[in-house]
Structure 1
């Protein structure tokens, strides 16, 4: 995905700058009453859930504000400087880069607290009674994109109707995948972790990602509308029931839900890896990544409740095994690492400059 990052960072940065200008006009130089977090669309549903819980437990202040700008956009806004017109927290689905750390420092953001909150993993699953799916390379893109490269390299409407047409060796069953709708944060994760990566496995689209990143992202993330992909709302239980009733159908949902329904559904392997807590936590499973929040230490004690928010975010009730964020699809950190991150939040330990 490295070939698309500069374009994303530029677009997200523009959005962040527009948001900052608006905030300056609204703030009028006055201190904000509430916490402001901005960034990753993948972290967004988890941060929103923590904000909801925090608002119930700390009702005196304004409810935390959580913005979905993308990781690059959130970091860009975060690094603009200190004060009420910049976010207290940057939500990120990757580590802060050295160049971003330096940009922060240039603008006076010299003490940053890095907290790793967990992992995100999406399972591709089918009924236990169905055929096994062994997915690799460009399979997901060639099965689910609205347009794919034709023999001459030009984009054509996706002609694949069965998985066997995508690649020999896949089940000879109709392509019918039930997954998250566009309004879901899970859909954002699916597009970025699965569709973009799968598309780049094709040389023609890897070249497009270099020459025209905007066009590449549009092509890679536009899902077919002929029944091959079915938006299934937010009810993962309904997807599981559909898989058991519809032989050969496939579902996409958070790993935690796969774990809860392992007696009824089974996961596909992706590039030779089966999703498990261990393979997601280690990064071996391709449709997974680490999630972080970055916090300005200078805003602690200035923005009301900010450290309390960090303590809530790193609590066992939120990020532990069986916590309310696992119910939303987060894969928890190992116990020792959770303890270490809680200590970071409690002690306000600042990070060192990343190596790259």
Structure 2
């Protein structure tokens, strides 16, 4: 089930959209990542306050993959102007965009986040590593049958409690980042897996990133707050979600260390925490001059993502100074993403 949150209804007008349509939306339409959603909502609200007469943007939480798919469906008033993502656009998605006429895409890194592992306040605690997480959650760890039922089955130093992890679904950018930053990192620590990658990359990907489906890893919706709720009600469960949700719900949940590093702002900003990742938005440049408020909405991001800005107050981790400066420039010059950059 897709959970959708609307900030404002979108209406149609007689404004001409240069690409292929006689009408265009009267307000900005944003889709995508549930992790980026809370930040996008604040940006939308502040952009309206800063620009009297601007219609409230429509912000939808659809998941990174679903949002990019909508974004790439074409150009026109019935397609989104912006797609938020908690992982980078894939080359295949870029190709889909081009095939559907979305030929000018601007990629803007809005900040950093971390894939936090957490439990209820006072609940189960453990020191995790990517290898432990991989061995606990992989469908076939290192190509072998998955037999671990408790955390102690994975590592004798861990609690003898049943493995129960609530995490993001396959359509989520958080799930993609979990695979790449944690599961694969734990898998490729094995020498035989390194060799397999050289000989059979498809099999390597399957072994290293496929998550078990026997009920010990439970897919939740795109809404990270639901995962927070699940683990808050079960002290023996672990949840996987964006760091901002950990900070927002610090009275209910506690972060679990990875490689001895706590999921904190500082550890994510320096990438000391293994689950640190960049967050993105993709702007349809072909809509810039046709959608009222789109430029203003993008400009509001650049005013808000510093370490002491309003987004930091709700959990966004600021990018490094040089990265932030480069992306501020993109909010005014709208440099177009190329296929080579995604290789």
Deviation, structure 1 residue 287: 0.9
1:242-321 residue pairs with structure 2 within 5 A? 242-292=230-280, 307-308=295-296, 310-316=298-304, 321=309
- Cα deviation 1:239-279 (Å, max 9, x = unaligned): 33432432322111111111122233221111221111111
Partner of 2:91: 72
Query: Structure 1 135/317 Cα, relative in aligned 2: closer, same or farther at 3 Å?
Result: closer
Deviation, structure 1 residue 141: 1.0
Deviation, structure 1 residue 179: 1.1
User: What secondary structure, in the 3-state scheme, does the structure 1 residue paired with 2:239 have?
Assistant: strand
Partner of 2:113: 120
- Cα deviation 1:302-354 (Å, max 9, x = unaligned): 7767744532443428998554x987xx7331696797467424552879x99
Residue segments in structure 1 that go unaligned for 5+ positions in a row: 1-29, 36-40, 92-114, 150-154
Cα distance in 1, alignment partners of residues 287 and 167 from structure 2: 40
Partner of 1:104: none
1:331 aligns with 2:326: no
> Conserved in 2, the CA contact under 8 Å of 1:194 and 1:287?
yes
Cα distance in 2, alignment partners of residues 128 and 258 from structure 1: 11
Between the two proteins, the alignment pairs up a number of residues equal to 285
Cα distance in 1, alignment partners of residues 120 and 287 from structure 2: 49
Deviation, structure 1 residue 168: 2.5
User: What secondary structure, in the 3-state scheme, does the structure 1 residue paired with 2:144 have?
Assistant: strand
Cα distance in 2, alignment partners of residues 300 and 231 from structure 1: 35
> Conserved in 1, the CA contact under 8 Å of 2:118 and 2:238?
yes
> Conserved in 1, the CA contact under 8 Å of 2:106 and 2:330?
no
User: What secondary structure, in the 3-state scheme, does the structure 1 residue paired with 2:133 have?
Assistant: helix
Query: Structure 1 214/247 Cα, relative in aligned 2: closer, same or farther at 3 Å?
Result: same
Cα distance in 1, alignment partners of residues 257 and 284 from structure 2: 40
Equivalent residue for 1:223, pick from 211, 215, 219: 211
Residue segments in structure 2 that go unaligned for 5+ positions in a row: 1-17, 26-30, 48-53, 59-75
Query: Structure 1 245/286 Cα, relative in aligned 2: closer, same or farther at 3 Å?
Result: same
**TM-score normalized with structure 1 length:** 0.62
Query: Structure 1 264/304 Cα, relative in aligned 2: closer, same or farther at 3 Å?
Result: closer
Deviation, structure 1 residue 32: 4.9
Equivalent residue for 1:129, pick from 101, 122, 125: 122
Cα distance in 1, alignment partners of residues 310 and 302 from structure 2: 14
Partner of 1:196: 184
> Conserved in 1, the CA contact under 8 Å of 2:149 and 2:162?
yes
Deviation, structure 1 residue 143: 0.0
Cα distance in 1, alignment partners of residues 288 and 122 from structure 2: 56
> Conserved in 2, the CA contact under 8 Å of 1:138 and 1:202?
no
Equivalent residue for 1:148, pick from 141, 147, 157: 141
Cα distance in 2, alignment partners of residues 165 and 185 from structure 1: 29
1:176 aligns with 2:164: yes
> Conserved in 1, the CA contact under 8 Å of 2:82 and 2:281?
no
